[in-house]
Amino acid sequence: GAVVSQHPSRVICKSGTSVKIECRSLDFQATTMFWYRQFPKQSLMLMATSNEGSKATYEQGVEKDKFLINHASLTLSTLTVTSAHPEDSSFYICRAERGQWGTEAFFGQGTRLTVV
Amino acid sequence: AQRVTQPEKLLSVFKGAPVELKCNYSYSGSPELFWYVQYSRQRLQLLLRHISRESIKGFTADLNKGETSFHLKKPFAQEEDSAMYYCALRGASSGSARQLTFGSGTQLTVLP
């Protein structure tokens, strides 16, 4: 099956710094990638939809200036958490879809962000 | 709007017992329904989809349009089935409705 690689898998950063998370589709082109946030034992919360070559579409309540998304190529999307605070500590997951109508969805392994 | 409801946040069953994870959806058209599973420390992965009508790891799920449900079932639970299960819906039309909408998830624990 298709592989989506997310990096890093775990990161600890100081409050006030920025952290970049990468999501790559290794063997297919993903025109659309999605970024989720997951709290412990809770559901996935869609943060934004990232389309290659255009601005990301953010869900209501997600600060676009805080969570910067860049989808520069068909195989790479990045999420940058700017000026991180402890409340940003969470598990972030990306998802990429293959096919024109996104008939298959593949998830990255997730990034555990801890802001101290 | 499309919505997926998983009423049980936690579900525990004993090994060998039947298990049913409930999923109800709200969508005006003909949706695609999926079950995703997340084992401890692993990524989310597709378990099964309704259009395939397949059985994966002993799990089955039938789409009941009348009850707008897509419950996941297994006749004999195994300890390795312990995981977080998410029901998901994708609308049939193009655009934003093609997004996957996830339920809140059910944490299944199979006790020895």
- How near does any CA of chain B get to the CA of A51, in Å? 12
Whether the CB-CB separation of B84 and B105 falls below 8 Å is answered with yes
pLDDT of residue B97: 46
pLDDT of residue B54: 79
Mean pLDDT by 10 residues, chain B (112 residues): 90 97 91 91 88 85 92 97 94 63 93 96
Chain B interface includes A93 (CB < 8 A): yes
Chain B interface includes A102 (CB < 8 A): yes
pLDDT of residue A101: 54
Pick out chain A residues at pLDDT < 50: none
Interchain proximity B105–A42, CB inside 8 Å: yes
CB-nearest partner of A49 from B42, B84, B99: B99
Q: Rounded CA gap, B91 and A4, in Å?
A: 23
Residue B67 identity (one-letter amino acid): E
Helix or strand (DSSP H, E) at B73: strand B72-74
* A·B CB contacts under 8 A: 39
CB-nearest partner of A109 from B43, B46, B94: B43
pLDDT of residue A100: 56
pLDDT of residue B60: 94
- How near does any CA of chain B get to the CA of A97, in Å? 10
